């Protein structure tokens, strides 16, 4: 039980580090428009609405790999128990929903984020395999 709790704590942290690293790299390749106040939510929504295609694909890729890393590492920490990865995947889905509610991504990007997290959840579930004896 302790390993499961530890996995549910560390899994999202690992996933968010991966997500942040990939999203940061995408922001270096596709920087926000000049003069955007990154502390103003309205300015961020306006800048998000005009992001280039590559930046939006980078965001989807960041969510896919972040959710995969978080769920898979949670499964491993918990002793290959799929429950840990499923909990982490649920947390990533909730975080993705919050992100979509607070940004102005186009509909295809929003759908892509949800699909990416679901694909990561299934992949982590299958990659964890059966528990070793």
Is 23 part of any domain?
yes
Residue-wise pLDDT tens digits, 103-129: 878 889 999 999 999 999 999 988 876
Q: Name residues whose C-beta falls within 8 Å of residue 98's C-beta, 6 or more positions apart in sequence.
A: none
Is 133 part of any domain?
no
Structural domain for 43, as ranges: 2-11+19-128
CB 5 within 8 A of CB 65: no
Is 92 part of any domain?
yes
Residue-wise pLDDT tens digits, 62-83: 999 999 999 999 999 998 788 9
Q: Residue 70 to residues 39, 57, 96: CA-CA distances in angstroms?
A: 27, 20, 14
Distance CA 52, CA 89 (A): 28
State CA 88 to chain mean position distance.
Answer: 10
Is 76 part of any domain?
yes
Count of domains observed in the chain: 1
């Amino acid at each position: 039980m302790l390993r499961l709790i530890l996995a549910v704590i560390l899994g999202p942290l690992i996933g968010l580090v991966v997500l942040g690293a990939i999203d940061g790299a995408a922001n270096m390749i596709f920087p926000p428009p000049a003069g955007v106040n990154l502390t103003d939510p309205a300015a961020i929504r306006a800048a998000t609405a005009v992001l280039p295609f590559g930046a939006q694909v980078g965001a989807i890729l960041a969510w896919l790999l972040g959710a995969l890393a978080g769920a898979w590492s949670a499964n491993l920490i918990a002793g290959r128990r799929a429950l840990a990865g499923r909990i982490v995947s649920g947390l990533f889905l909730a975080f993705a929903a919050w992100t979509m509610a607070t940004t102005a991504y186009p509909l295809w990007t929003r759908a892509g984020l949800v699909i990416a997290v679901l694909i990561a959840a299934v992949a982590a579930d299958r990659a964890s395999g059966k528990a070793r004896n």
